Structure 1
Amino acid sequence: MTDVNMEVKQQELLEKYDSESRFRVFTNKTTGFLVSAFAVAISLYHLYVSYFGTPVTLKHRSLHVALIVALGFFVFPGFKKARRDRMPWYDLGLGLLALAPAAYIWIDYLGIVHRAGIPNQWDLFMGVILIALVLELVRRVTGLALPIMGILFMLYAIFGQQMPGFFGHRGYQWQEVVNHLFVSTDGIYGTAVGVASTYIFLFILFGAFMAKSGMGQFFNDIALALAGHTKGGPAKVAVIASGFLGSINGAAVANVVTTGAFTIPLMKKTGYNDEFAGAVEASASVGGQLLPPIMGAAAFIMAEVLGVQYRVIVMAAILPALLYYVGIITQVQMRANKKGLKGIPKDQLPKVKDVMKERGHLLIPLVFLVYMLFFSGKTIIFSAFLTIIVTVMVSMLRSTTRMNAKDIFEALDSGARSAVPVAVACAAVGPIVGVASITGFGLSMAYAIVSLGGTSLLFTLIFTMVTCIILGMGLPSIPAYLITATMAAPALVQLGIEPLVAHLFVFYFAMFANITPPVALASFAAAGISGGDAMKTGFESVKLSIAGFIVPYMFVYNSGLLLQNTTLAQGTVVIVTSVIGVIMLGSAAEGYFWATISIVPRGILFVASLLLISANLAQDGVGLLIIALVLLFQWRKAKQQHREVISV
């Protein structure tokens, strides 16, 4: 397949499975330039306020939403089959209308503050416009799920007194609901938009600059150089490259399509079947959002919601994320061993020295970012701003990565466009979170989940997991987390689980909705590239991600896996035993270690691996003993098979 054909197929898959990528491509150069200039202006505004400071909260958030929604109507067509080479007059009108609520807030800010919850007709009029435009744009960008949920929650706020049981409440007038969603910081201009207008926008912009400098190519090349020659090397390349890129951009489906176009054909060429090749790419791409330091920007939302420092989230997330990837790598290795797959010959691979010489300097911005976030004492916003500047400067060190004025313009343009789906989704979550805050829906939902689980923590966790996967179907990662954090996390907190642990638990399963059938967009996109069956690829993705499905249960029962309240010695024991446990879990899932594992030892190994992941010394000892016995049995079995092969 030629490069042109591959690009066409990538775009087709993106548009099919990732509605966030259905941008207009204008044939009229003047229109295209004006829209790009508007996008660049949005990026420059966010860079400006990150350095000089943001205006008053409501003013800044309203302007952010207005600019993003306007750009959204300019670049996203109303329907899948609508023409994408021009902008119809009504989308231009809707885009300009989107600026009106922010202009109104800036002009009458003192009046809005003085009215303090007693809206006038203009307040209500502008509020209705804002809500309608946000819901319409999010329909275009992410599909029907979010707008339908937003409308249902607003109806729930108005007609709540007619709801039965503990979901009933006193009910609110529509004017109260509109005013709460419009001029309070608990509605559309809530925490999610606050984080989107600062941290998230800047890190998406950082990702655009990194992509423009060639970071994606660097990750692919260095992964090939390090792991391409090993057994099943291309699959390991997919895991490494997709994990790093997923952490930076947080876009699972887009990551699958862009990285997968390169890695999936390589995996198939070395002997992996279609479904497994697609599943490796899907599970690795989704896992990037669990991987520090950026975690697809969700860590910033979580820190804001919980009121803790960003570094606390990152430190807690490190070990579970690494265990997730160890689980995938283990199954990749075991599948290669079982099928006798080879890697790519070294003479066909780039050399580490050459890759580092050509593009290794692109790691400097990442190292600088980590330093700024964890050791400089500077704010996250300022750190992101400086990192973008450093990225541009570092790109100048080599001609192959050097960014000229056109590249910088395109990065500013791309960053603003890429921010639209996340930012408008954060705004669209406003009606859900806002209504939940005034009606107590979150507590009612928590009560329902706890009631279903009874006195059993395990059953409550299972019901919470199912709830998170259902709520996360077809949604971008950040709104998926916000919705599950509002509806499901309180149930775990009610049972005495630490809020951070509860939020990480729901975040994991909200992310896994992307690979869990029947709605598994990342898996389906990967199947579109591999040519495999979509549902089989989804189930294969779940199997590859089995460590990710189990580890959240483990850190709920023992927060040592989050390296909290633990000494260096205890933390070392937890890391060693949990890594061994995940390796054994992957072997049990794949059914291979030195030789094929029959069904009974496989089940025993599965149980023993769970004992190790639990981070309890007594259970660790039992688990290690059982694993040692199973591996001894496997070693003898492999030795016997080797003798039989020699004798034949």
Structure 2
Amino acid sequence: MQDTNRVLNRPYRLISEVFAISLPIAAVIYSLQVLPRFGIIIYKEQYLTLFIAICVALSFLLKPAVKSMTRNTPPWYDIVGAVLALLVGGYIFLNYDQIVRSLGLITTDKVIVSVIGIVLLLEAARRHVGWTMVSVGLLALAYAYFGHYLSGMFETRVIRWDRLVTYNYLGTGAIFGTPVEVAATIVASFVVFGQVLFLVGGGSAISDFAFALMGRRKGGPAKVAILSSALFGSLSGSASANVATTGMLTIPMMRRVGYSAKRAGAVEAVASTGGLVLPPVMAATGFLMAEFLAIPYSAVAIAAAVPAILFFFCIYLQVHLESVKTSVAGADIEELPDLRDAAQRMIPVIVPFAILLWTLFGWNWNPAASAFTASFATIVMSVVIPSMRRPLKAYIQTFVEAGNTVVFIAIMCAIAGIVVGCLGLTGLGSSLSQNLIAVSGGSIWLLLILSAIGCIVLGMGVPVTATYIILVILIGPAFTQLGVSTLGAHMFIFYYGTLSFLTPPVCLSVFVAASIARSAPMATAVEALKLAVVAYIVPFAFVLNPAFLLGGTPVENGAAVLSGLASVSLISAGLVGFLVQCVSLPVRLVLVVVGIASFFVSNLHPALALVPVLILGALYGQQKLMGGGTSRAILNG
């Protein structure tokens, strides 16, 4: 993602700020259904068309065509692009009644606005993330148009180019479908919440509390990185951005207490990436999942809780065991904030989160309404509490930054919408799913392995939200045809799409962390794979055993959680080579193998969840008898 915006001169800066601030304001008005209360009714597509038009116009104003261009005034062709984007959006907005009544009739005006709109959208995407997503969109369009020249499973019917472009730009199942709708409502609301929270000191409060709580413990800075990066990652929705933000503080501190450069970078990269799958926010993808599955978001967040807990428990336990094994000390106490003061500073952060969670899970509000209510409460608190109070200009700038952040997400969702539209026209999704089932021979294990590889490969260099959207359409039906629950299938795709940020060769989170730690990227990636090993296992576990998503009986759910925690402990002890004392290499291999296998035993019978618990207890007891006082050190973490 290009992170260099133009520093515009005053007239253009004012225009761009007005556009940017209009996006979250529009999201509030539309999401809370303000206009219908005054008798004003607009189609969803009208709103989304205008929303994307403003996003594209902002992209042309703020993002230079070439990264090296640093002029403060947009060149004439960028101004033309921005104006065209607004004209296209305005034309569709004003004439949508007529357009929707004659959607099946292709006319010259529809073709012109569709072609211009798609070209401008692709160029806006190129300016944000380079050619990766643009290539995905162009490939989808090329396949839909030229697919009838192919043979076999990839052969399509003849699709005229005018039908192709109008379907994608004016239809309801492509660019302006569910992904963009979620981006322009729910995602925008949570971006506002995150920005407002950071404005009033929420970011520093979270960071200070993490340091005060964890910094003194063995390997404290690494544990701080896990806690703070998890919280930041869930809110920010970008693993790489999270690494760049929190890693600048946590990685140098880890290095000072004795962590190697590759280990410090790996801890930060894995924790930041894990934030994407951590409830209650789960970046943007959890909301999309709820929309696709037509279930409350609270159901998605509750289902994601156990896998996320196991993910972070694995990271934390490996860090702790490694710290005890190598005697890595905590941070210097003089560097750490006072715990009581840090806890008091967290109160203004906890209150908005409590409002968010209560309205979202307790009252089952729309996620956008919950986030906007929490944002409003945060602003009110900041006005009342002097230490949180900010100048009026700062609040305005926060909404501008929120709008600029939403632009990137909306553009990526729109490009993913092109792929969805082309797949819908060609029917490739269903045919590919049928062929995946045929190749796997009906074996759920082989299908999961093939799908996991596909998710990681297709997700490399592509934002996780876009990856999820594309892969759900492509391979999601294959899962359900083999009896996998739709929630399990979607969560599997989400997890493995996210893991592309950690999996070589294109592991963006690792690259950012390695650049901060000044370590070798591939060596850092290997360390990251060790820390994140459970994230590669648990999706298989919850597909085969819905109890890991809390989809079984209370006994089955409890057995899954128990076996999962014990399995993580066995795997972590095996990978680190330490529990109470050092573990020999043969025993380490046995622990890892037994730990992985133990993830799947509770699926056979809940009582079998006791097997990994007993094995762990036996090893711990045996080492405690041999090691004596060392066991007290391991518990002090």
Could you say which TM-score interval applies, normalised by the shorter chain? over 0.9
Say yes or no: does 1:422 pair with 2:406.
no
Which residue identity is paired with 1:591?
Answer: G
Q: Which residue of 2 is the match for residue 11 of structure 1? A: none
Q: Distance in 1 between matches of 2:74 and 2:10?
A: 12
2:23: which partner in 1?
Answer: 42
2:291 paired with 1:309: no
Q: Counterparts of 1:335-484 in structure 2 under 5 Å?
A: 335-484=322-471
Deviates more, 1:163-172 or 1:554-563: 163-172
Report matched runs for 1:169-568 at 5 Å.
169-567=156-554
Alignment partner of 1:103 is 2:90:
yes
CA distance in 1: counterparts of 2:244 and 2:464, whole angstroms? 17
Does structure 2 conserve the Cα–Cα contact (< 8 Å) formed by 1:138 and 1:425?
A: yes
1:383 deviation in Å? 1.8
Contact 2:559/2:607 (<8 A) preserved: no
The CA distance in 1 between the partners of 2:296 and 2:591, in whole Å, is: 39
Give the count of matched residue pairs: 622
In structure 1, how many angstroms separate the alpha carbons of the residues matched to 2:293 and 2:461? 25
CA distance in 2, matches of 1:566, 1:364: 33
Contact 1:358 1:400 in 2 (8 A): no
Distance 2:401 2:26 in 1: 15
Contact conserved, 1:73 with 1:137, CA < 8 A, in 2?
Answer: yes
Q: Is the 8 A contact 1:188 1:431 kept in 2?
A: yes
In 1, Cα distance between equivalents of 2:490 and 2:71:
39
Counterpart secondary structure, 2:487 = helix
Distance 1:97 1:30 in 2: 19
Please say if residues 234 and 267 of structure 1, whose CA atoms lie closer than 8 Å, have aligned partners that are also in contact.
yes
Deviations 1:248-302 (A, max 9, x none): 1111111101100010001011111001101111111111110011100211101
Q: Which whole-Å CA distance do the structure 2 matches of 1:169 and 1:619 have between them?
A: 49
1:597 match? 583
User: Which residue of the partner structure matches residue 9 of structure 1?
Assistant: none
- Normalising by the residue count of structure 2, what TM-score does the alignment of the two structures yield? 0.94
Q: Counterpart of 2:38?
A: none
Check 1:129–1:375 CA distance in 2 against 1; reply closer, same or farther (3 A cut).
same
Q: Following the alignment from structure 1 to structure 2, what is the Cα–Cα distance between the partners of residues 389 and 88?
A: 38
Match of 2:4 in 1: 22
Do the aligned partners of residues 84 and 493 (structure 1) sit closer, same or farther apart at CA in structure 2, a change above 3 Å counting?
farther
TM-score, normalised with respect to structure 1: 0.93
Partner of 1:610: 596
Instruction: Please give the alpha-carbon distance, in whole angstroms, between the structure 1 residues aligned to 2:112 and 2:245.
Output: 43
Query: Quick one: distance in 1 between partners of 2:167 and 2:221?
Result: 52
Q: Which amino acid aligns with 1:621?
A: L
Instruction: Quote the offset at 1:347 in angstroms.
Output: 4.3
Question: 2:634 matched to which residue of 1?
Answer: none
Distance, in Å, in 1 between the alignment partners of 2:560 and 2:23 is 46
Query: Which amino acid counterpart does residue 590 of structure 1 have in structure 2?
Result: V
1:620 maps to which of 606, 609, 613: 609
Q: 1:238 touches 1:263 (CA, 8 Å); kept in 2? A: yes
Please give the alpha-carbon distance, in whole angstroms, between the structure 1 residues aligned to 2:11 and 2:49. 28
Q: CA RMSD in A?
A: 1.9
Given the alignment, which residue of 13, 28, 50 partners 1:32? 13
How far did 1:594 drift? Answer: 1.9
Shift of 1:117: 1.4
Q: 1:530 to 1:59 in 2, by over 3 A?
A: same
Task: Indicate if the aligned counterparts of 2:624 and 2:630 stay in contact, CA closer than 8 A.
Answer: no
- Aligned residue identity for 2:443: S
Residues 135 and 428 of structure 1 are in contact (CA less than 8 Å); yes or no, is this contact kept in structure 2?
A: yes
Question: Please, which moves more after superposition, 369-378 or 572-581?
Answer: 572-581
1:367, CA displacement in angstroms? 0.8
- Asked whether the equivalents of residues 569 and 616 of structure 2 are also in contact (C-alpha less than 8 Å), the reply is no
The one-letter code sitting in structure 2 at the alignment partner of 1:117 is: G
- Residues 55-70 of structure 1: pairs in structure 2 closer than 5 A: 55-70=42-57
| Equivalent AA in structure 2 for residue 406 of structure 1 | K
Determine the C-alpha separation between the residues in 1 that align with 2:71 and 2:233: 28
Deviation, 1:464, is 0.4
The yes-or-no answer on 1:631 pairing with 2:612 is no
Alpha-carbon contact 1:365-1:394 (below 8 Å) kept: no
Distance 1:126 1:403 in 2: 43
For structure 2, list consecutive stretches of 5 or more residues without a partner in the other structure: 36-41, 632-637
Whether the aligned pair in 1 keeps the contact of 2:298 and 2:364 (CA below 8 Å) is no
Structure 1 range deviating more: 48-57 or 519-528: 48-57
> Deviations along 1:13-55, whole A, 9 cap, x unmatched?
xxxxx42x222223x2343233223212232222222334473
Distance 1:443 1:403, change over 3 A: same
Q: Give the distance between the partners of 1:307 and 1:48, measured in 2 at CA.
A: 23
Q: Given that residues 429 and 475 in structure 2 are in contact (C-alpha distance below 8 angstroms), is that contact kept between their aligned partners in structure 1?
A: yes
Of residues 551, 574, 586 in structure 1, which corresponds to 2:572?
A: 586
Q: Does the 8 Å contact 2:311/2:532 carry over to 1? A: yes
Query: Are the aligned partners of 1:547 and 1:586 in contact in 2 as well (CA < 8 Å)?
Result: no
Distance in 2, Cα, partners of 1:598 & 1:234: 28
Alpha-carbon shift at residue 623 of structure 1 (Å): 2.7
Displacement, 1:84?
Answer: 5.5
Per-residue CA deviation, residues 533-557 of structure 1 (Å, 9 max, x unaligned), is 1111122111111111110011111
SS of the counterpart of 1:128? helix
Give me the whole-angstrom Cα distance separating, in 1, the residues matched to 2:224 and 2:97: 56
Q: Tell me the residue number matched to 1:576.
A: 562
Q: Deviations over 1:360-381 (max 9, x none)?
A: 2122111100011111243222
Asked if the contact 1:605/1:630 (under 8 Å) is kept, the reply is: no
Cα displacement (A) at 1:418 = 0.7
53 and 434 in structure 1: CA distance in 2 versus 1, 3 angstrom threshold: farther
Percent of residue pairs identical: 33
Contact 1:281–1:526 (CA<8 Å) still a contact in 2?
A: yes
Q: Do 2:559 and 2:609's aligned partners in 1 also have CA atoms closer than 8 Å? A: no
CA distance, structure 1, for counterparts of residue 47 and residue 296 of structure 2: 22
**577-586 or 69-78, which deviates more:** 577-586
Shift of 1:629: 4.0
SS at match of 1:116: coil
Equivalent position amino acid for 1:576 in 2 = L
* Structure 2: distance between partners of 1:107 and 1:37: 21
Mapped partners of 2:95, 2:412: distance in 1:
27
In 2, are the aligned partners of 1:162 and 1:168 still within 8 Å (CA)? yes
- What amino acid does structure 1 have at the position aligned with 2:73? R
* Structure 1: gaps of 5 or more residues: 1-17, 643-648
Contact 2:60 2:81 in 1 (8 A): yes
Note the C-alpha offset of 1:516: 1.0
The SS at the match of 1:594 is coil
